[in-house]
Structure 1
Amino acid sequence: MTDLDLLALRRKARRLLAPWDRPGSPGATLGLVRDGALVLQESAGAASLELGVPIGPETCFRIASVSKQFTCAAILLLAAEGRLSTEDEIHAWLPELPDFGAAIRIDQLMRNCSGLRDMLELMRLSGTDLSHPATAEHLLAAIGRQRGLNFPPGTRFLYSNTGFLLLGRIVEAAAGEPLGAVLERRIFAPLGMTRTRHTPSVTEIVPGLATSYFPQDGGFVRALHGFPLGGEGGLVSCVEDLALWDRNFTTGQVGGVALGRALAERAPFSNGTLNLYARGLEVTRYRGLRTENHGGLWPGFKTCFLRAPEAGVTVIAIANHGGIDVHHLGHQMLDAALEGRPGLHPVPALPPRPALGALTGRWLEPESGTTVEFGIEADGTPTATQHGLPFALAPAEDGRLAARRGIYPFTVTLPEGGRLAIETDAGHVALFRRAAEAPVLPAGLAGTYRCEELDTVWTLAAEGDGLAARVRGPLTAAGPWPVQPIEGDCIRLLTPATLFQGWVDAKLARDAAGRITGLIVSGARARGLRFARQER
């Protein structure tokens, strides 16, 4: 790379960061690694709005789920020493866990194919959002109440923070010391990652840690978060330290080169389809190149760790501004770094606006009651929203539209004849049709419903001109959550949350006489929860 090449890349990074390079705004930092060297790092915005401290090279951030690959690395290092096997059944290390009805292997936790329901979703559905104070014991209690799974282990993919919390505890059981101590001694210290640390408590004082913010009413507010963080997301780090970690994939200083290969090794589901999720990394292709990447999301913090090993390029993008799409930011920086590379596939063009217009609106998969809504942003970007979480869509090379968001297998075919096909994990394709335009709530829906696996009661009653749920869970009360009709026995409950305005899809259960006996509720990462109707 010439000095002029590097100059052009630096200017590109500054242009990408320009929207947040202004007083009174949090922002982001961008790093580019080429052939094992951190060749640039540019930043914009404030690490602390209160103190007016700018983001700089030494600023640290909560990297949230980018932590998962480090937890997996600790497991693999212990496995290489014979202290555990990735094929061990999890009860061998955590005998206190309930019987989930199927054997779950350590490797299935690392690959997000265990079927375990996500603990953060379980907490939210019981009325406890990320902004509420909670303890590790509360999270473990939510896991311990489960008796079912999202699906049989090894058959599907669904992102689950539960699995990585448990992996962290398995590391501690096998190593005989806290997860943070294992990571520090085995990974961070040998690699010189002096500003990376495991910080389970969100109240712990961390030198150089940026404050996180959400945009609100033309300004910003502090992003609240009260949950502890374990093997699923407990690391604080920075661009420089993540660049040191990236170099280890090729040098093998820690764990040998076999460690990096094992982290990025894909495995098939039981139907033979390859899982895009390896071990703490998602492995996909972008513009004809293999990428190994992961995102991180915690209130006000966002991280993109994006490797393109065939090109010798890695991009690291981290923000303390909850409104920045770091996944898109990172890929824009990767495009700039790859420009002129022979054989690089062009970025596919979006379908014409009329074709996209046929996609907009609400769609329903009648059997499960799953809904998805499509729209088009002012700049022409198509978007999809599921369970309240909006995400941009980008054109795929096969003519379909795919989620422009990490760790979210979602590819949609433009509708034909009032139907559209959405492919998700394990090659699963679901057929959706347009939902009713003027739906009404089912008669007799008001009442009290209890879910044993959440230890939670939802009371649906009249609220204003409609129906809403009041929630009483093991820790908190919440609500009212508005209840919306979708079609027939399919309904939606709006679930306000710190990160976004969520919703859950629900379908009524009825007896042979047609009486409502309960609700079958599914969120983004917890499916098939049964709420039984209580007798009056």
Structure 2
Amino acid sequence: MMRWTRRLFTAGLLAAPFLAHAADPAATAPPGASPGPTATAALPDAAQVGAYVRKLFDDQKLAADGPGVVVLVARGDQLLYQGARGMASIELGVPLAPDQRFRIGSVTKQFASATLLKLIDQGRAQLDDPLSKYLPDYPQGDGITLRQLLNHTSGVKSYTGIPGYMNNPIRRELDTRQLIAEFKDQPVDFKPGERYAYNNSGYVLVGAVIEAITGKTWHQAIQEQVLAPAGLQQIVYPGEDRIVPRMAAGYSLDRDAGLTIAGLLSMTQPQAAGALVSDAQDLWRWNRALHGGKLLSPAMYEQMITPQGAAKAAGYGFGITAGTLRGEPKLEHGGGIHGFSSRLIYLPRSGTSIVLLRNTDGPGFNMGMAGTKLAAYVIGKPYPELVPVSQTAEQLQAYVGPYQQQADANAKREIQLQDGKLRWLRQGRPILTLVPIGPDRLGMDGNVGLVKVERKADGAVAALVFFGQGGEPGETGERWVR
């Protein structure tokens, strides 16, 4: 998933002992939260969830003496686990605590979206209003709707994608008008509504619309419209000089430079696209309030979680990505910003919340895979562990060669045999290692995907079928032919 982020990384961290505390399963529920479903014997309990989180940390070799991760798991109002591994401040030798605060990056979009939708619920705007109604001077603003800003189909140029912008330009302190001036005259990427493209400029404009409607700053409006009604006090806008208690330090990890202090940026620039700070418990409380019907009308909430039009294929609603996990509905958003990354997941069928917060923007702990595996485990549908089977060099060599996607002849991949391991080479994407796990079955190291091998009558490999969620029933495979 694309996020408010600076760059992509591919390296990892060293292993170290676990430092965390497991939450009391009888811990106090979020204020005002509605009751969640009753846990059944088939679902893992607090002790089992804690053990599974520790295993995820160990499997990914998350170090206790480097940047770390906070994880929270809840089922409805029951807090199953909250713990941490790593350091909040490497310089000061301060271990990461479960209640510390992090920049949440693009998870901010969920709060901005809910705020604008609440204003629409109040009759102060409409989803299909043109942008020009609120920003009369914005170029071609009469052809862009609020709906298109919310679901990334506006075609507006994303300022974080302007060449060179994420270097020194991102360090400048800008108000909303000045920030909009950075991208408003850029050529559009496509006609509004024509297609989907994740877009940080769109949410800066959402923030500007909120300001135009309320007469307050975007973050003041978020505070008044959604945070205060939900009783959330740990989610704040840090601005440039605000002291945020229990704030973890942010780090970057680069394959060339190694571990460094996070790159500088002015927090005025992420704006409503990514500038909020939170701890894990308030993100859990946010899930309970938003998805529990505490903030929006049922009709507006349904629009928020339902992808429409050009955004439908991408599964993007308004500040929420809607998909499935092991056959169950899943609502989520991720975030990446200088020094931090985050992931917030909600599974409505069981009322499950998964929160992951990390104080580095570099390689190492795979937030996406960890969140997916953890969520599947908590709902009682865990992904099977990869158990490699031995194959001869000749058997491995049979998979080697170029492949193209059956539905798109221009989509090409290649399997190579390197140092006795199968490598799946994908242009512009990280290399995957394929692991034999049974007859004509390959798992993906560091991924939940599964590959099924199709053979010709003579036994030669004819095609590979990829299942992104491990080949669960009902999932359509992506076929790649030789």
**TM-score calculated relative to the size of structure 2:** 0.71
SS in 1 for 2:271: coil
1:330: which partner in 2?
371
1:281: which partner in 2?
320
1:110: which partner in 2?
150
**For residue 13 of structure 1, what is the amino acid of its counterpart?**
V
Count of aligned residue pairs for this structure pair = 394
Farther off after superposition, 50-59 or 395-404? 395-404
1:233 correspondence with 2:274:
yes
1:71 correspondence with 2:136:
no
Structure-2 separation of matches of 1:349 and 1:285: 25
**For residue 416 of structure 1, what is the amino acid of its counterpart?**
V
Structure-2 separation of matches of 1:239 and 1:27: 14
C-alpha change, 1:242 and 1:395, in structure 2 (3 Å) is same
C-alpha change, 1:215 and 1:128, in structure 2 (3 Å) is closer
C-alpha change, 1:31 and 1:7, in structure 2 (3 Å) is same
Deviation at 1:219, TM superposition (A): 5.5
> 2:423, 2:431 within 8 Å by CA — same for their partners in 1?
no
SS in 1 for 2:182: helix
1:37 correspondence with 2:78:
yes
Once the two structures are superposed, residues 91-119 of structure 1 have per-residue CA deviations (whole angstroms, 9 ceiling, x without a partner) of: 1111221237x811100111111111211
Structure-2 separation of matches of 1:255 and 1:169: 21
**For residue 116 of structure 1, what is the amino acid of its counterpart?**
V
> 1:58, 1:238 within 8 Å by CA — same for their partners in 2?
yes
Structure-1 separation of matches of 2:84 and 2:152: 33
**For residue 98 of structure 1, what is the amino acid of its counterpart?**
P
> 1:304, 1:317 within 8 Å by CA — same for their partners in 2?
yes
Deviation at 1:235, TM superposition (A): 0.7
Identity %: 24
1:207 correspondence with 2:245:
yes
Farther off after superposition, 222-231 or 136-145? 136-145
C-alpha change, 1:226 and 1:218, in structure 2 (3 Å) is closer
> 1:317, 1:330 within 8 Å by CA — same for their partners in 2?
yes
1:416: which partner in 2?
481
Deviation at 1:25, TM superposition (A): 0.8
> 2:66, 2:90 within 8 Å by CA — same for their partners in 1?
yes
Deviation at 1:256, TM superposition (A): 4.5
**For residue 234 of structure 2, what is the amino acid of its counterpart?**
R
Which residues of 2 match residues 335-414 of structure 1 at below 5 A?
A: 335-339=376-380, 357-358=400-401, 382=424, 384-386=426-428, 395=449, 400-401=465-466, 413=478
1:121 correspondence with 2:139:
no
Structure-2 separation of matches of 1:382 and 1:317: 28
Structure-1 separation of matches of 2:161 and 2:125: 30
> 2:62, 2:86 within 8 Å by CA — same for their partners in 1?
yes
Deviation at 1:311, TM superposition (A): 2.7
Structure-2 separation of matches of 1:286 and 1:347: 17
1:178 correspondence with 2:217:
yes
SS in 2 for 1:296: strand
> 1:375, 1:384 within 8 Å by CA — same for their partners in 2?
no
**For residue 214 of structure 1, what is the amino acid of its counterpart?**
S
> 1:303, 1:326 within 8 Å by CA — same for their partners in 2?
yes
**For residue 81 of structure 1, what is the amino acid of its counterpart?**
Q
1:58 correspondence with 2:99:
yes
Structure-1 separation of matches of 2:231 and 2:74: 17
1:263 correspondence with 2:304:
yes
**For residue 333 of structure 1, what is the amino acid of its counterpart?**
L
Among candidates 76, 86, 105, match of residue 127 of structure 2: 86
SS in 2 for 1:221: strand
C-alpha change, 1:106 and 1:127, in structure 2 (3 Å) is closer
Deviation at 1:236, TM superposition (A): 0.3
Deviation at 1:120, TM superposition (A): 0.5
C-alpha change, 1:225 and 1:401, in structure 2 (3 Å) is farther
**For residue 248 of structure 1, what is the amino acid of its counterpart?**
A
> 1:196, 1:235 within 8 Å by CA — same for their partners in 2?
yes
Deviation at 1:394, TM superposition (A): 5.2
SS in 1 for 2:88: strand
Among candidates 176, 185, 188, match of residue 149 of structure 1: 188
> 2:237, 2:277 within 8 Å by CA — same for their partners in 1?
yes
Deviation at 1:138, TM superposition (A): 5.5
SS in 1 for 2:229: helix
2:351: which partner in 1?
312
> 1:27, 1:44 within 8 Å by CA — same for their partners in 2?
yes
Which residues of 2 match residues 460-475 of structure 1 at below 5 A?
A: none
Deviation at 1:246, TM superposition (A): 0.7
Structure-1 separation of matches of 2:78 and 2:417: 39
SS in 2 for 1:194: coil
**For residue 171 of structure 2, what is the amino acid of its counterpart?**
P
Greater relative contact order (CA < 8 Å, ≥ 6 in sequence): 2
2:234: which partner in 1?
195
2:442: which partner in 1?
none
C-alpha change, 1:375 and 1:233, in structure 2 (3 Å) is farther
Deviation at 1:4, TM superposition (A): 7.4
SS in 2 for 1:40: strand
**For residue 210 of structure 1, what is the amino acid of its counterpart?**
A
C-alpha change, 1:291 and 1:414, in structure 2 (3 Å) is same
1:97: which partner in 2?
138
> 1:198, 1:234 within 8 Å by CA — same for their partners in 2?
yes
Deviation at 1:290, TM superposition (A): 1.3
SS in 2 for 1:303: strand
Once the two structures are superposed, residues 217-255 of structure 1 have per-residue CA deviations (whole angstroms, 9 ceiling, x without a partner) of: 695211113142211001101110000011113432223
C-alpha change, 1:160 and 1:279, in structure 2 (3 Å) is same
SS in 1 for 2:309: coil
> 1:131, 1:225 within 8 Å by CA — same for their partners in 2?
no
Deviation at 1:173, TM superposition (A): 0.5
Structure-1 separation of matches of 2:379 and 2:424: 25
SS in 2 for 1:143: coil
**For residue 215 of structure 1, what is the amino acid of its counterpart?**
L
SS in 2 for 1:190: coil
Structure-2 separation of matches of 1:66 and 1:211: 19
**For residue 7 of structure 1, what is the amino acid of its counterpart?**
A
Farther off after superposition, 30-39 or 69-78? 30-39
Structure-2 separation of matches of 1:73 and 1:99: 25
Once the two structures are superposed, residues 497-525 of structure 1 have per-residue CA deviations (whole angstroms, 9 ceiling, x without a partner) of: xxxxxxxxxxxxxxxxxxxxxxxxxxxxx
Structure-2 separation of matches of 1:402 and 1:159: 24
> 1:250, 1:257 within 8 Å by CA — same for their partners in 2?
no
Gaps of 5+ in 2: 1-38, 389-394, 433-445, 453-463, 470-475
**For residue 118 of structure 1, what is the amino acid of its counterpart?**
S
Deviation at 1:400, TM superposition (A): 4.8
Deviation at 1:383, TM superposition (A): 6.3
2:259: which partner in 1?
220
C-alpha change, 1:128 and 1:65, in structure 2 (3 Å) is closer
Deviation at 1:198, TM superposition (A): 2.1
**For residue 139 of structure 2, what is the amino acid of its counterpart?**
P
Among candidates 197, 222, 245, match of residue 286 of structure 2: 245
C-alpha change, 1:138 and 1:195, in structure 2 (3 Å) is same
